[in-house]
Each structure stands twice: as C-alpha cells, then as structure tokens.
Amino acid sequence: MKRNKLYIGLFFGCCQLLIFLKQLIFRLFKGRVKWNTVHRANLLALRRIPVVAVSTLAAVAQTAADELNIDHLAVAMDARMGEIYCASYQRQKDLVTLVDEERVCPAEKFSRFSDDNWLGVGTAWREYEQPLSNNFALSHGQYFADYYPHAASIIKLAKREAEAGRTASADQALPVYLRNNVAKKKAQQ
C-alpha cells in the first residue's frame, strides 16, 4: 500500500512539474518572461545567501566527538585506488579543530600527530585496519568504521565558520577535491 502511495505521489509531482515547465515555455515564447531575466533573478538571489564550507572529514570527526566524548580523532575515509582521505582533529570547546592537513594518501602514510590517545573513525579503518592501527598504536578493534557526517554536526561547524566571518556568496562557492583528477588512474596522477 505504501508503495502505491509513493508511485501516485511521484506521478502527481511529475505532472505538476510538467505543467510548470509548459507554462514557463509558453510565457517565454509569448515574450512575457525572458529567459535571461529569469536567470539573472536567480543569480541575484543566490548572491545574497552566504555559504559556508564544511569538510566531510570534519563533519565525521564532529559526529564522533559528540557521540563518543573523545578529544583526539583520526578520521580516515576510503578513497579507493589504495588510498584514503584523512585528517586528524582535536576537540576544543565542544568543536573539532583540524590539527594537521586534510589529504589523500596511502594508509601507511597517515600517522598520529602527537602521542595523545587517538580514536580511529571512518570507513577506511575497516578496509585498512592493520596499517592504520599500527600508525596510531591502536589495539585491534579500537576504531569506529561506521561513522558518517550528520546534519547536526555540519550545522555546528558551519555556525562557527559563519560567526568567524568565513563565508562566501553562493556563486563563488566551489567544492574542494583532495584528489585533483579522479578520471585518471593512480599511476597517471
């Protein structure tokens, strides 16, 4: 029964979208609305909304810090091709702070930043348990592989960035890729 309701809802949603598009196209050809005007209005609206950059690795670290009450986190997410996305974070005043750099590298090259007690978090800890555990002096199973970014964590981090004035207009916001060219094989990068 739920599936039928879903299909009916999708059907009516698609119908409404088609009606909207038909009306827009009709108005464009009648000269009531010029496409360039619509496009400019959307861009102007976007420029008024500030955007804050929040790293996926930081969001994972914040989620783990909140739920596990831990101060030193080694976040490693599987990047495929034998590499990981990784960074070390320290909790200060209930918010995580980056203590080294976010990077992509083989698991063997990600090691602890200090002699403090670290907790491993992220999907790469399951895939690369041995080298990561050795680098962080963790005993077997002293990591949490099933942590992902939560919206509440992203909001906490975004609030800190916004209060510090680190915002950009939406039309200037660009994603940050740790691996520059994912289309090439690792040997070609």
pLDDT digits (tens, 9 = 90+) for 17-32: 455 555 555 555 555 4
Region 159-172 average pLDDT: 84
Tokens of 158: 């975004």
Whether the predicted pLDDT of 187 surpasses 80: no
N-term to C-term CA, the chain:
51
Domain ranges in the chain? 2-49, 56-163
String of DSSP letters for 47-90: HTSEE----HHHHHHHHHHHHH--SEEEEEEEEETTEEEEEEEE
Q: Is the dihedral of CA 172, 148, 163, 86 positive or negative?
A: negative
Q: Domain spanning 56-163 has what CATH number? A: 3.30.420.40
DSSP 3-state of 144: strand
- Looking at per-residue pLDDT, the higher value among 180 and 112 belongs to 112
User: Is residue 51 very low, low, confident or very high in pLDDT (cuts 50, 70, 90)?
Assistant: confident
Sort 140 into a burial class: Cβ within 10 Å, 0-12 / 13-18 / 19+.
exposed
Cα dist. 33→28, 37, 44, 157 in Å?
5, 7, 17, 40
Whether the predicted pLDDT of 5 surpasses 50: no
The residues that bridge with 73 in the sheet, in sequence order, are 89, 119
How remote is the C-alpha of 122 from its chain's centroid? 13
pTM value is 0.70
